Amino acid sequence: MERLLTFDGKGIYCPRADVHIDPWEKVPKALITHGHSDHARWGMGAYLCTHESVPILQHRLGKTNRIQGIAFGENLFINGVKFSFHPAGHVIGSAQIRVEYKDEIWVVSGDYKLANDGISKAFEPVKCHTFITESTFGLPVYKWQNQTAIFDKVNTWWRKNQAEGRVSVITAYSLGKAQRLINGLDPSIGKIYTHGAIENTNSILREHNHFIQDTQFATASYNFKDYQGNMVVCPPSAANSNWVKKFKDFRLGIASGWMQMRGARRRRAADIGFILSDHADWNGLNTAIEATGANEIYVTHGFSRIYSQYLREQGYDAKIVETAFEGERLDSTEEEKIDQTT
Amino acid sequence: MKHFAQLFRQVDETNKTNEKVAALIAYFEKASDEDKLWTIALFSHRRPKRTVNTTLLRTWASEISGIPAWLFEESYHIVGDLAETISLVLPLPTKQSVLSLNEWILSIMNLKDKEEHEKRSFIIEAWNSLETAERFLFNKLITGGFRIGISQKLMSRALARYLKKEENEIAHRLMGDWSPTTTTFSDLLLNEHISADISRPYPFYLAYALETEPATLGSTQNWAAEWKWDGIRSQCIKRDNEVFIWSRGEDLITNRFPELIEMAQRLPDGVAIDGEILAVKEGTLLGFQALQKRIGRKTVGKKLLQDNPVIIRAYDLMEYEGKDIRELSYLKRRGYLKKIVHQMDHFSLILSENVPFSSWAELTNLRKKSRDLGTEGFMLKQLDSPYLSGRKKGDWWKWKVDPYTIDGILIYAQRGHGRRSNLYSDFTFAVWDEDRLVPFTKAYSGLTDAEFKEITAWVKKNTVERFGPVSSVKPMHVFELAFEGIQKSTRHKSGVALRFPRIKRWRKDKPIQEANTLSDLKSLIR
């Protein structure tokens, strides 16, 4: 008997409805969990995502009428298959996609985290029989502190750099992490400047009524004196480029879940690592999976081999799926991803 | 412990020397003498004896964290550090501790004769009262190995500034066979009686590699050349009629070399000779492997002594007639050294001769003979140079011959440790033996960070089989490997053992069919 969802080499596929979820090859109809470029790729015939994700996709894929929005919790029927989008808590607009037909319910989680970051709609567990989960941080060494504690560390570091007359530069993905971080900064310390990639995303989100603290685009017209004592938020790729050199006397911080490991911290030429991730940690993954009530689990990108083995020992029917999703990567950035399908 | 953890984090997270020094000084200004002494000891690889074995630590950590043992091991392979893995998998602590570094260390040492269940409850209680960063250090106190990028030079500089003393004096005081249980902070660093420890060696003078043509050094008149030998750099000391032999890594290795003790007992009192220990039998230089057998054994049997006898090839003299003569010129020190070697007239003490040359061109020509003589090239030393401590530029240079190279195929990969944890960085390479691939060496270094990332991504996708932490991969990539020496070996499948193998470059242009063969490799053996 054909399954409700399959993996056809182009993405997650629903044969009965003839739609793909987060496909990485060109297909006529794509349901998109969130706006990160490994999930929302260019070249699909039509896109369906949450209303919150629409402006993000339009910004990244170009203005087109092929992108359609849907509300969280709204039901959509395609050839008898019921689809609905539910908050995944990963970034603004991110959703888990629930798929139901007859007595079978699947949930494609996309990327997710359980903690409420204050800007993405908080994760909601959805009951299902089969759950497709990421495993970016699916190892018991990954455990996150709450974000208030992390923001305190960031602000303390900023104050110290300011006292020494330096610029503070932090890297964060331009969609999601950057806005989360900006809203966690204490604006009484100083000004927050942003790299163009982040400022563009910020202004689109602000236009759509998302609250993001005031930031200033770090244009060429400013000089060191303007930046001194202030904060600059940029995407990871900018930290390795000439762009960052204009800040002259600066300290570099990296906000990423990978900063949990000493080796990763030391390998980057950063001054400090802040352990801040938009993915679920070890406990988060286990809690989320348990809450679905699912027995069958498909594990994708990340530590899928190890994590699926662990789940099997816990009594789940867990399998690995090879996908082209990358999650938060240790050694590449949003802008320079290695195409894993080749 | 919090204070020490703060220091560790500051030093660990910067690669700027000045900041490391500043962090150390700030720490010394606040810490107790006991804590200071332990900090210096730990950062110079002097740690308390292990009182709990790592198998027990692993077992307890998995138990407390509620994860299966295999998952703990998988995590360890990825983190690349046992102490860190334990610190991360454990649940968050429910208590806080105010114990100092010294107090923690003493409690750990106290576990020595305790029953297993007593050790267990102590360790678990400790884990539950320390934060992740402190826990990591606590585990390190037990498992050892603080690789943190504080060189002896850096530590000496920080202490010199803190104590307002000369860096050289501090470096010297830090040498030798001391431990916080046998000395105090003031005895080690402040009190006048520096010679109280008669075994104390001098810091070695280490040279940088000459990257330019030797002609840039100016007139040949000011320079001496010695062959550069590949053995164990050592310091042979005789004081108060006692003999001490130190390795460059500051290990006391006297007992490994009975024949050298015998020789050194005839030395005049109050000398310290810098020289290379080499395995030489009946005038023939044996390879480094012969020497390795001698280092590996704590007790030296008769047969080993007969088969692999050693000598010292003397380079320099730091102490003469009980006086530190490091300030004298190379020429003067060598004058005394020659006198000693000549008077001794002993087959186990040979002078590292100056190679006569009248032009750099002549020396360049002579250098081509290096391999035939079993040397690695030349050491060039300025005639009026004092004996400095640590790695310094200008007066001494090593001028090595080009390494051997061979093109090998990547067949196994393993994740690295420390800075390279989470990346595949330990590789095994093979050469062709007809249509079979025979592994012949491992290599760890030589790729850029970007190349490590690239090969890591490739290994993840092309793993054929896993053996614990090791992945076998499809033979697809050719690497040019460089090494300093090659010898026959019965212990290796390929029948050869390499000296200092490393990756020279990734030959993306070469298909695997064009990699070298086992007979190419064997033809390099002399």
Euclidean distance between CA atoms B250 and B228, whole angstroms: 21
Instruction: Tell me, yes or no, if A163 comes closer than 8 A to chain B by beta carbon.
Output: no
Percent helix, strand, coil in chain B (nearest 5)? 40, 25, 35
* Chain A CB contacts of B136 below 8 Å: 262
Per-residue pLDDT tens for A145-171? Answer: 999 999 999 999 999 999 999 999 999
Pairing state between β A296-302 and A130-135:
parallel
* CATH 3.40.50.10890 domain range(s) in chain A: 147-274
Q: How confident is the model at residue B195 (pLDDT cuts 50, 70, 90)?
A: low
Residue B472 exposed, middle or buried by CB count within 10 Å (0-12, 13-18, 19+)? middle
Stated as kind and residue range, the H or E segment containing B41 is: helix B33-43
Instruction: Tell me, yes or no, if A320 comes closer than 8 A to chain B by beta carbon.
Output: no
The CATH architecture assigned to A6-141+279-320 reads 4-Layer Sandwich (3.60)
Of B453, B405, B449, B396, which Cα lies nearest the Cα of B429? B405
Q: Residue A44 is which amino acid?
A: M
Euclidean distance between CA atoms B257 and B294, whole angstroms: 8
**Partner-chain contact A140 B75, CB within 8 Å:** yes
Nearest neighbour of A263 by CB, restricted to B75, B92, B420: B420
Stretch 31-70 of chain B: residues touching chain A, C-beta under 8 Å: 65, 67-68, 70
Mean predicted lDDT score pLDDT of chain B: 90
- Is pLDDT at B416 greater than 90 in this prediction? no
Mean predicted lDDT score pLDDT of chain A: 91
User: What fold is seen in the domain A147-274?
Assistant: Rossmann fold (3.40.50)
- Chain A: give the shortest CA distance to residue B461, in Å: 8
Residues of chain A above pLDDT 70, percent: 94
What is the DSSP secondary structure assignment for residue B450, as one 8-state letter? H
**Partner-chain contact B71 A260, CB within 8 Å:** no
- Is pLDDT at B317 greater than 90 in this prediction? yes
Let me know: does B365 contact B378? Beta carbons within 8 Å: no
- Chain B: give the shortest CA distance to residue A215, in Å: 28
Class for the domain spanning B205-400: alpha beta
Which value, to the nearest 10 degrees, does the dihedral of the CA atoms of residues B390, B391, B393, B398 take? Answer: 120
Euclidean distance between CA atoms B408 and B410, whole angstroms: 7
Mutate to test the interface with B, among A331, A332, A336 (most CBs of B within 10 A): A331
Instruction: Tell me, yes or no, if A264 comes closer than 8 A to chain B by beta carbon.
Output: yes
**Partner-chain contact B423 A340, CB within 8 Å:** no
- Is pLDDT at A326 greater than 80 in this prediction? no
Q: Return the pLDDT at A340.
A: 24
Per-residue pLDDT tens for B426-444? Answer: 999 999 999 999 999 999 8
Q: Could you state, in order of their start, the residue ranges of all structural domains in chain B? A: 2-143, 205-400, 404-522
- Is pLDDT at B104 greater than 90 in this prediction? yes
Report helix, strand or coil for A171: strand
Q: Return the pLDDT at A339.
A: 25
**Partner-chain contact A265 B422, CB within 8 Å:** no
Per-residue pLDDT tens for A90-146? Answer: 999 999 999 999 999 999 999 999 999 999 999 999 999 999 999 999 999 999 999
Instruction: Tell me, yes or no, if A165 comes closer than 8 A to chain B by beta carbon.
Output: no
Give CATH for domain B2-143.
1.10.3260.10
Q: Give the chain A residue whose CA is nearest to the CA of B461.
A: A340
Instruction: Tell me, yes or no, if A265 comes closer than 8 A to chain B by beta carbon.
Output: yes
Q: Return the pLDDT at A337.
A: 30
Mean pLDDT on A233-252: 90
Q: φ and ψ at B306, to 5 degrees?
A: -75, -40
Q: Give the chain B residue whose CA is nearest to the CA of A143.
A: B88
For residue B102, the tally of other CB atoms under 10 A from its CB is: 20
For residue A51, the tally of other CB atoms under 10 A from its CB is: 15
DSSP secondary structure of A3-28:
-SSEE-SSSEEETTTTEEES-SS--S
ipTM of the predicted structure? 0.90
**Partner-chain contact B79 A263, CB within 8 Å:** yes
Q: How confident is the model at residue A333 (pLDDT cuts 50, 70, 90)?
A: very low
What residues contact residue B383 under an 8 Å CB cut-off, 6+ apart?
B222, B223, B224, B329, B330, B331
Mutate to test the interface with B, among A141, A145, A328 (most CBs of B within 10 A): A141
Instruction: Tell me, yes or no, if A140 comes closer than 8 A to chain B by beta carbon.
Output: yes
Integer Rg of chain A from CA = 20
Report helix, strand or coil for A272: strand
- For residue B223, the cross-strand partners are B382
Nearest neighbour of B449 by CB, restricted to A267, A272, A309: A267
Euclidean distance between CA atoms B60 and B57, whole angstroms: 5
Mean pLDDT on B150-163: 90
Q: For tokens 């590699």, what's the residue?
A: B209
Q: Return the pLDDT at B147.
A: 73
Residue B149 exposed, middle or buried by CB count within 10 Å (0-12, 13-18, 19+)? middle
Stated as kind and residue range, the H or E segment containing B147 is: none
* Chain A CB contacts of B449 below 8 Å: 267
* CATH 3.60.15.10 domain range(s) in chain A: 6-141+279-320
Let me know: does B187 contact B339? Beta carbons within 8 Å: no
C-alpha B95 chain-centroid distance: 39
- Chain A: give the shortest CA distance to residue B110, in Å: 30
Nearest neighbour of A262 by CB, restricted to B67, B75, B81: B81
Report helix, strand or coil for B75: helix
Q: Residue B377 is which amino acid?
A: G
Euclidean distance between CA atoms B287 and B231, whole angstroms: 9
What residues contact residue A177 under an 8 Å CB cut-off, 6+ apart?
A91, A255, A256, A276, A278
What is the DSSP secondary structure assignment for residue B381, as one 8-state letter? E
CB pairs < 8 Å spanning A and B? 75
User: What fold is seen in the domain B404-522?
Assistant: OB fold (Dihydrolipoamide Acetyltransferase, E2P) (2.40.50)
Instruction: Tell me, yes or no, if A340 comes closer than 8 A to chain B by beta carbon.
Output: yes
Mean pLDDT on B187-192: 83
Classify the phi-psi angles of A340: left when phi > 0, otherwise alpha if psi is within -120 to 50, otherwise beta.
alpha
Let me know: does A257 contact B88? Beta carbons within 8 Å: no
Q: Return the pLDDT at A325.
A: 65
Q: For tokens 């009530």, what's the residue?
A: A293
**Both tokens assigned to B241:** 């009629």
Q: How confident is the model at residue B121 (pLDDT cuts 50, 70, 90)?
A: very high
Higher pLDDT, B487 or A16: A16
- Is pLDDT at A332 greater than 50 in this prediction? no
- For residue A250, the cross-strand partners are A167
**Angle formed by the axes of helices B17-30 and B2-12, to 10°?**
170
Largest CA distance in chain B: 74
Q: How many residues does chain A have?
A: 342
